Structure 1
Amino acid sequence: MGRRGATSLQDVVGKLKDKASQSRAALNPLSKPHVGALLRATTHDPSAPPEEKHLAAILSYGHRSRATASVVVESLMDRLQTTGDAPVALKCLLTVHHIICRGTFILQDQLSVFPAAGGRNYLKLSNFRDSRSPFTWEISSWVRWYARYVENFLSASRILGFFIGSSSSILEKEKVEETVTGLLNSDLLRELDSLVGLIEDACKMPDSTHVESARLLRCVKSLAAEDHMSVMNEVAVRISEFRQRLSVLSFGESVELVCNLKRLEGCEEKLSAIFDRKVPTESFWELMREVKSNLTEQEEKMSAALDRRVGRGSESARYGGRRAVSLDEPVRFSSGRLPPLPIPSTELYPYG
């Protein structure tokens, strides 16, 4: 049987599974109302992305109680982590992504704490394989990439304290800049590192040669493109803030910042190939290169100064140039901030 014949048979089987699942949910009196919407949004059809009305039905549960939102998220995660079907898994991840971007705070909050520990392989899909056909094998690579991307998106949002690009968490630019201004250098570096890592994940988006899933994959790419715009705006605000702090960065902080900027610069070509929109703009890259150049120059000066200081220390450590200090001679300091401490007289301590 050829590839098209195998795919057609899988499509028929998938549709039968969808109808059977939806019928069971409709006839079961104990079935929750959200189950039907979830099944309709995450069908086995590889060519059809989740319909907007089904996504809207799932998102509407975020306007109810926290307990209801918890059950919806738990059901979504159960379907994601128990399915072996690549299109179903990809649609589950799309639904999760829509909750991040469009969901209410209650729905997002339940998503962010499931499981409470979070961490690496949060969605447990790093080993996902659907080997029924070359098509499902290829879509499996999208599932693995998308799961890793969503995991890191959630992780970066936790670090920043809000869901990046979320309609319920969009802050005015002035407020974002005000918040960033109050951060410590270490916290600002941590945020920038997480954002750059998210950009690097976007650059690892797989390619696809199968037209059967073109619409579904376009939806994934479209959401990633919207994220890309929001993430780059957050990066730009933090690089601008670092430009104001160059003179107060320690040597270690300067090195870490240069490393992040080099990682970001390495994504420039790939970003332009993946996303058609000119984001970031040329002015962004000019800002990034300006800060990187200034940092590199500052780093070289600090390194040279450190080498000279080490050299002077080595010279002074030689025994030939040292002089014994008498006990009654006052100690002199190189800085004028601290006065010399007097040596206590032994007359006050006759038994010392």
Structure 2
Amino acid sequence: MGRRKSLREVVGLIKDKASQSKALFSNPTTLPLHLAVLRATAHSPHAPPQEQHILDLLLLGDSSRATASALIKSLMNRLHHTSNAAVALKCLIIIHHIIKRGPFILQDQLSIFPATGGRNYLNLSAFHDGSTPSAWIFSNWVRYYARYLETLLSTSRNLGFFLGSYSSTVEKDRQEERLSSFVNRDLIREIDSLVGLMEDICKIPDNLHVKGVELLLGITGFIGGDYLSVVKETVLRVIEFKERVGSMSFGQSVELTCALKRLEDCRERMEKVIMIPVRKLSMETLWVLTEELKEIMVGFDGGGGGGKEGRKIDREKMMRTESARLENRFLDRDNAVKFNSTRFGDSVKVSSNGFNFLL
């Protein structure tokens, strides 16, 4: 078995050399891009792409729109033409790096690939590498990770920025005003999309006892960071709905209730997902605020009656809420958005660096 694995690694090195030689006969303009992609997604060893190779790719993709487009195309060609699960995972990891920390021009080209459709379906649901038992397990991760990234990209489109990316930090200081300008329908669509991403996180595979575990740990670390971003963005929208419950129509209340029910289901599943290192307090904040929103919705619904009187808006309460919101917008928040939860008071806030809990 040891000789077989060594032979497999040698074959991988030969394939890498052959691919690099083939790239030499390509367009001289795109040659550096092809070589950079090949170096970052080498067959061996079973470890995440080297940091320097990733930085080289991100730097190359920041030069022009044409170069960024060619780099994304080269990366996607590498992904869709390999039958090696480790190489496919490395390609997907680089895509995740582009989402998280890539320059805007490179993120933009990723978001509109392929140019003919703009839906960015990675289309790896049938991927299979049965060369070794480890490759079999890696194949399962390839299928899951590709589907997850598709959902992440779709959610990012709905939000208007790449979720969990460096660029999204620019939005944080404006989130409260941005969300308050949305109509209920758009807010419900965003919550529904965020819950869908959380549902995909709950489905992460749990088999890490294979050669190349470093590769998988890098993936789980990335997804764990995304989970915290999902929690943060969901909390902001739950708080916004707490302040506008009385303005929702009956149909919108039903849609929001369904989304909250799916969120509760995620709570039970996330408790069993030991792969994702999360901050327990941030999770509990989301669940507490969600429960508060449900209680308020029941109150406005008259105990579930759904009649005209049951859905009547408490005008005085809504005016006090709106007045408080306007007052808070003009207060010096020290670059933070306060959570005006009746249960937490001023003890919870979101800073530009993430969740700060002052309990």
Q: Deviations over 1:127-169 (max 9, x none)?
A: 1111222221111111111111111111111111111121123
| In 2, Cα distance between equivalents of 1:112 and 1:48 | 27
CA drift of 1:193 comes to 0.6
Write the mapping of 1:76-155 to structure 2, written as runs, cut at 5 A. Answer: 76-116=75-115, 117-119=117-119, 122-155=121-154
| In 1, Cα distance between equivalents of 2:249 and 2:178 | 22
CA drift of 1:56 comes to 0.4
CA drift of 1:299 comes to 4.2
Residue 180 of structure 2 aligns to which amino acid in structure 1? T
Matched, 1:61 2:60: yes
Structure 2 spans left out of the alignment, 5+ residues: 311-359
> Please, which moves more after superposition, 152-161 or 24-33?
24-33
| In 1, Cα distance between equivalents of 2:181 and 2:309 | 34
Q: Helix, strand or coil for the counterpart of 1:211? A: coil
Q: Would the aligned equivalents of 2:206 and 2:275 in 1 still touch at CA under 8 Å?
A: no
Given the superposition, is the C-alpha separation of residues 185 and 29 from structure 1 closer, same or farther in structure 2, using an over 3 Å criterion?
A: closer
Q: Helix, strand or coil for the counterpart of 1:188? A: helix
Q: Deviations over 1:222-280 (max 9, x none)?
A: 11111111121111100000000111111111111111111112112433433222153
Structure 1 spans left out of the alignment, 5+ residues: 309-352
Q: Helix, strand or coil for the counterpart of 1:114? A: coil
> Please, which moves more after superposition, 185-194 or 8-17?
8-17
Match for residue 11 of structure 1 among 9, 12, 35:
9
| In 1, Cα distance between equivalents of 2:64 and 2:172 | 32
Which residue pairs with 1:349 in the alignment?
Answer: none
Given the superposition, is the C-alpha separation of residues 166 and 300 from structure 1 closer, same or farther in structure 2, using an over 3 Å criterion?
A: same
Write the mapping of 1:158-307 to structure 2, written as runs, cut at 5 A. Answer: 158-272=157-271, 273-278=274-279, 280-299=282-301, 301=303, 303=305, 305=307
Q: Would the aligned equivalents of 1:97 and 1:150 in 2 still touch at CA under 8 Å?
A: yes
Residue 39 of structure 2 aligns to which amino acid in structure 1? R
Given the superposition, is the C-alpha separation of residues 122 and 28 from structure 1 closer, same or farther in structure 2, using an over 3 Å criterion?
A: closer
Larger Rg computed on CA atoms: 1
CA drift of 1:10 comes to 2.2
| In 1, Cα distance between equivalents of 2:41 and 2:268 | 34
Using structure 2 for the length normalisation, give the TM-score. 0.79
| In 1, Cα distance between equivalents of 2:26 and 2:108 | 29
Residue 14 of structure 2 aligns to which amino acid in structure 1? L
Residue 21 of structure 1 aligns to which amino acid in structure 2? S
| In 1, Cα distance between equivalents of 2:220 and 2:263 | 20
| In 2, Cα distance between equivalents of 1:168 and 1:257 | 29
CA drift of 1:48 comes to 1.4
Q: Would the aligned equivalents of 1:180 and 1:188 in 2 still touch at CA under 8 Å?
A: yes
Using structure 1 for the length normalisation, give the TM-score. 0.80
Q: Helix, strand or coil for the counterpart of 1:124? A: coil
Q: Would the aligned equivalents of 1:258 and 1:296 in 2 still touch at CA under 8 Å?
A: no
Q: Would the aligned equivalents of 1:46 and 1:212 in 2 still touch at CA under 8 Å?
A: no
| In 1, Cα distance between equivalents of 2:64 and 2:291 | 48
Residue 11 of structure 2 aligns to which amino acid in structure 1? V
CA drift of 1:8 comes to 3.6
> Please, which moves more after superposition, 103-112 or 288-297?
288-297
CA drift of 1:203 comes to 0.8
| In 2, Cα distance between equivalents of 1:112 and 1:257 | 28
Q: Deviations over 1:14-34 (max 9, x none)?
A: 122123323444587836112
Q: Would the aligned equivalents of 1:100 and 1:163 in 2 still touch at CA under 8 Å?
A: yes
| In 2, Cα distance between equivalents of 1:5 and 1:199 | 42
CA drift of 1:301 comes to 3.7
